[in-house]
Chains A and B, each alone.
Chain A
Amino acid sequence: MLLLIPLLPFLGFLVNAFFGRRLPKSVSGLVACLAIIGSFVVSVLSVISVVSGTTGFAEATAFDWMSSGDLQIPLRFRLDHLSSLMILVVTGIGSLIHIYSTGYMHEESDPEYARYFSYLNLFAAFMLVLVLGANFPVMFVGWEGVGLCSYLLIGFWFRKKSAADAGKKAFIVNRIGDFGFILGMLLVFVTFGSLDFQEVAAAAAGRAPETAAWGVMTIATLLLFVGATGKSAQIPLFVWLPDAMEGPTPVSALIHAATMVTAGVYMIGRNAVLFEHAPATMAVVAGIGVATALMAGTIGLVQNDIKRVLAYSTVSQLGYMFLAMGVGAFSAGIFHLYTHAFFKALLFLGSGAVIHALAGEQDIRNMGGLKKYLPITYWTFVIGALAIAGFPLLSGFFSKDEILFRTYTAESTPGHTLMWVIAVITSLMTATYMFRLVFLTFHGERRHDAPAPAHPEEEEPVPEADAHGHAAVHGAHAHAAPASGHPVAAHAPAAAAHAGHGHGAGHGHEPHEAPWSMAIPLILLAIGSVVAGYVGIPHALHGSNRIESFLEPSFEAHAAAPRETVGADPAAPAETRPAGEAAGETHADTGTELNLMVFSSVIALIGIGVAAYLWLGKRGTVDAIARSFAPIHRVLLGKYYVDELYDAAIVQPVKTLSTGGLWKGVDAGLIDGTVNGVGLVVSAVSGVLRRTQTGSIRTYAFSLFAGAVAILAYYLFG
């Protein structure tokens, strides 16, 4: 039954890939949705049987994939508690996004529509392979597969150059990470003689944690972590994710927010035992995580593209998850992954609804006042924003708080207090930039009818029906437009709205609420964003933190592991084990946790308040701040110039080396030179030699004769 979970979306992919061209939209959309929903149903049934079972996991082996000497790699899937949570997230949220996509992509032609859904199904299939894989190579198949689908979907509108480039960028940056993953995988095999996760965990558990600077487990885990930074967009390989927003918005929601980018976090969780035995790596993971969170948060504060803000927010939240992983709070990291999947998918889908309503407009400076036109989108978006900001009693509150608390108490991680401070600052910024989005998009006055410079062709002639509103309108417009800096356009519908006139029925520009296929997923995800956190109510609030006890078995060496040995090993520090921590939560800890909880709630409220003060009221304050910190503002707007830095430090040298060295030097010079040189030498030598071929019979006859004489002389006198 386990095999069915990835197989169903794969069948959906095959149908849409081979017959989609001839199918009408309704059929290809239905096939794709049924495939993923079917997979969801199978997943739920499988998870129920695993949870109610005694072993704690289920396995299914398709066939022996590779078998060579010591290397035995079966194509095996394993469903334990960790992967249970993941497949529910992937198929559940995936189903909602499939349904949403049927509405969002409706303007595509039939073949394009089928192509989109075939990619989406293929992605789901590979993601499930990644999550369910019982050993490194199977996970790697999924890992590469989702990378491929990510490339295909980012470049879905491949006729647009920026989209095609973004796809390539994502693919290439991911390749760098994948290289680390492969090396890590090889090192794990060489060290432990196995690639099965459980066997590796058992073997690692039998060793003492490495304290040496460059132990083999440290190197292996660091290499694996390089893979994770690529897939999960952490420093230094995060640059592809913001660009990935060129893809369709549901894709951003599914792949670049909820599921694929969390693969790195999942992979660390999967190898928790291995990582725990390499404290140096753990410190690096935590440091990279918190640095990424801060950096992406600061960039998110100033970006103007609605999807890019969300993208940086995703990078930032992924940083949180890595921070949690790095301080050994694996279940907290996975918990945040799970709640993040809900509210970030919700936010992306909400932004998709906004973009859909505004016919492709993505610049928040050109939005505003949409609250009244898109009530469902507005309220669901606000719920999502509250959840990510850590507003008390929403899902993000519980998971983020857990991470902050664990960071604060992680005595074994060097510099954990500093990390906690940075994480709190980031949390403040998260609340601020999310509500900046909310206020700029949905509140205030409408600015989106001032024609954006990018879409001049969309300007329409002024409908006659509104001509009477013009005089009043101009005043209102002159009022609204300078804020966004756009030229004042006498655009009647907007003008009518400003001036409080009624609307004619024939306005093509009227923002319209999302169709039901888009609204229902929004509502369901909003509900999820509210309640998803309640599986992890911390002990401090007299909850039982069920998610932690649920996930705990996945982070420990399994049945095969010699548990007694681990316990007896005096070198194994108990404090790095979350199990020990969870059990050892004292009263003092409860007090600390409650205080921290109140503190982070206050932080979230302050963040929202700051956003309200800056963007809900007069805009002047923001501009003034931006002016007085102009250099910082420029750096943030330029995203710390990381792209430019990479371009100058890596892309250009590689280009120069390739063009000047490899192309013009080695290929054109050496290889072509050798081939052409051989030809030239032959032709020059034969140019000389051909003079001996005179065509004169006499000469030929003489050479024959001379030869005969010479041979004769050789035998006679030689």
Chain B
Amino acid sequence: MVPLNYYLILSGLLFSIGTAGVFLRRNLITVLLSIEIMLNAVNLTFVAVGRYLGSVDGQIITFFVMTVAAAEAAVGLALVIALFRHRETLSPDAYTSLKW
């Protein structure tokens, strides 16, 4: 049996990769993808800890997260398309006018 720590380390790595992607990539779609990676890193933790504790709660929460992530992806991609129509670019640095 694979020890819990392995899952947690993997999950931590995935989360760090996702975070780095969100901050470093210059493309909104990639940023969305990175967010998905972060979500799935968390999912992995839930499932692993659920299994470790012998409870199904982790898996149930994971289903919720996946549902929300699906909705998020739909809305996020729709926004990306709308933004692209507006500015002809997908770099997040182009969209800084949301301030006073």
Output the least CB separation between A217 and chain B (Å).
Answer: 73
Contact A695 B96 (CB under 8 A): yes
Across the interface, which residues of A come within 8 angstroms of B99, CB to CB? 690, 693-695
Output the least CB separation between B95 and chain A (Å).
Answer: 7
Q: Is B5 an interface residue (CB 8 A)?
A: no
The chain B residue with its CB closest to the CB of A701 is B22
Contact A701 B23 (CB under 8 A): yes
* Contact code string A696-718 (vs B, CB < 8 Å = 1, else 0): 11100110010000000000000
CA distance A702 to B31 in the complex (A): 13
Output the least CB separation between B18 and chain A (Å).
Answer: 11
CA distance A657 to B21 in the complex (A): 71
* Contact code string A117-153 (vs B, CB < 8 Å = 1, else 0): 0000000000000000000000000000000000000
Output the least CB separation between B46 and chain A (Å).
Answer: 17
Contact B98 A695 (CB under 8 A): yes
The chain B residue with its CB closest to the CB of A698 is B92
Output the least CB separation between A712 and chain B (Å).
Answer: 12
Output the least CB separation between B25 and chain A (Å).
Answer: 10
Name the contact of A702 in the complex, choosing from B23, B97, B98 (C-beta under 8 A): B23
Size of the A side of the interface (Cβ < 8 Å), in residues, is: 10
B interface: dominant SS = loop
User: Which residues 74-100 of B sit at the A interface, judged by CB distance below 8 A?
Assistant: 92-93, 95-100
The chain A residue with its CB closest to the CB of B19 is A705
Contact B92 A696 (CB under 8 A): yes
Across the interface, which residues of B come within 8 angstroms of A696, CB to CB? 92-93, 96
Across the interface, which residues of A come within 8 angstroms of B96, CB to CB? 694-696
Contact B23 A695 (CB under 8 A): no
Across the interface, which residues of B come within 8 angstroms of A690, CB to CB? 99-100
* Contact code string A262-299 (vs B, CB < 8 Å = 1, else 0): 00000000000000000000000000000000000000
Contact B97 A698 (CB under 8 A): no
The chain B residue with its CB closest to the CB of A690 is B100
* Contact code string B1-19 (vs A, CB < 8 Å = 1, else 0): 0000000000000000001
The chain A residue with its CB closest to the CB of B98 is A695
Contact B23 A697 (CB under 8 A): no
- How many contacting A-B pairs (Cβ < 8 A)? 24
Name the contact of A697 in the complex, choosing from B19, B92, B100 (C-beta under 8 A): B92
Across the interface, which residues of B come within 8 angstroms of A702, CB to CB? 23
Across the interface, which residues of B come within 8 angstroms of A698, CB to CB? 23, 92-93
Output the least CB separation between B98 and chain A (Å).
Answer: 5
Name the contact of B100 in the complex, choosing from A693, A701, A705 (C-beta under 8 A): A693
CA distance A78 to B23 in the complex (A): 95
Across the interface, which residues of B come within 8 angstroms of A694, CB to CB? 96, 99
Output the least CB separation between B100 and chain A (Å).
Answer: 6
Output the least CB separation between B63 and chain A (Å).
Answer: 24
Across the interface, which residues of A come within 8 angstroms of B19, CB to CB? 705
Across the interface, which residues of A come within 8 angstroms of B92, CB to CB? 696-698
CA distance A145 to B47 in the complex (A): 90
The chain A residue with its CB closest to the CB of B99 is A695
Output the least CB separation between B12 and chain A (Å).
Answer: 12
Output the least CB separation between A688 and chain B (Å).
Answer: 14
Across the interface, which residues of B come within 8 angstroms of A705, CB to CB? 19, 23
Across the interface, which residues of B come within 8 angstroms of A701, CB to CB? 22-23
Across the interface, which residues of A come within 8 angstroms of B98, CB to CB? 695
Output the least CB separation between A561 and chain B (Å).
Answer: 82
CA distance A690 to B23 in the complex (A): 22
* Contact code string B45-86 (vs A, CB < 8 Å = 1, else 0): 000000000000000000000000000000000000000000
Across the interface, which residues of A come within 8 angstroms of B93, CB to CB? 696, 698
Output the least CB separation between B17 and chain A (Å).
Answer: 14
CA distance A622 to B92 in the complex (A): 104
CA distance A697 to B98 in the complex (A): 9
The chain A residue with its CB closest to the CB of B35 is A701
The chain A residue with its CB closest to the CB of B24 is A698
CA distance A697 to B96 in the complex (A): 7
Output the least CB separation between A706 and chain B (Å).
Answer: 11
CA distance A698 to B23 in the complex (A): 6
Output the least CB separation between B28 and chain A (Å).
Answer: 9
Output the least CB separation between B92 and chain A (Å).
Answer: 5
CA distance A41 to B85 in the complex (A): 98
Output the least CB separation between A696 and chain B (Å).
Answer: 5
Output the least CB separation between B38 and chain A (Å).
Answer: 10
* Contact code string A674-690 (vs B, CB < 8 Å = 1, else 0): 00000000000000001
CA distance A662 to B15 in the complex (A): 67
CA distance A698 to B95 in the complex (A): 10
The chain B residue with its CB closest to the CB of A700 is B98
Output the least CB separation between B27 and chain A (Å).
Answer: 12
CA distance A680 to B51 in the complex (A): 60
CA distance A705 to B22 in the complex (A): 11
Output the least CB separation between B48 and chain A (Å).
Answer: 19
The chain A residue with its CB closest to the CB of B100 is A690
CA distance A286 to B96 in the complex (A): 89
CA distance A585 to B96 in the complex (A): 109
Across the interface, which residues of A come within 8 angstroms of B97, CB to CB? 695
Across the interface, which residues of A come within 8 angstroms of B100, CB to CB? 690, 693
CA distance A696 to B23 in the complex (A): 11
CA distance A143 to B50 in the complex (A): 92
CA distance A701 to B95 in the complex (A): 14
Across the interface, which residues of A come within 8 angstroms of B23, CB to CB? 698, 701-702, 705
Output the least CB separation between B79 and chain A (Å).
Answer: 11
Residues of A within 8 A of B (CB): 690, 693-698, 701-702, 705
Known: A696-B96, A702-B23; 14 extra A-B contacts, CB below 8 A, are A690-B99, A690-B100, A693-B99, A693-B100, A694-B96, A695-B96, A695-B97, A695-B98, A696-B92, A696-B93, A697-B92, A698-B93, A705-B19, A705-B23
Lowest 3 A-B CB distances belong to which pairs? Answer: A695-B99, A695-B96, A693-B99
24 contacts between A and B (CB under 8 A): A690-B99, A690-B100, A693-B99, A693-B100, A694-B96, A694-B99, A695-B95, A695-B96, A695-B97, A695-B98, A695-B99, A696-B92, A696-B93, A696-B96, A697-B92, A697-B95, A698-B23, A698-B92, A698-B93, A701-B22, A701-B23, A702-B23, A705-B19, A705-B23
Residues of B within 8 A of A (CB): 19, 22-23, 92-93, 95-100
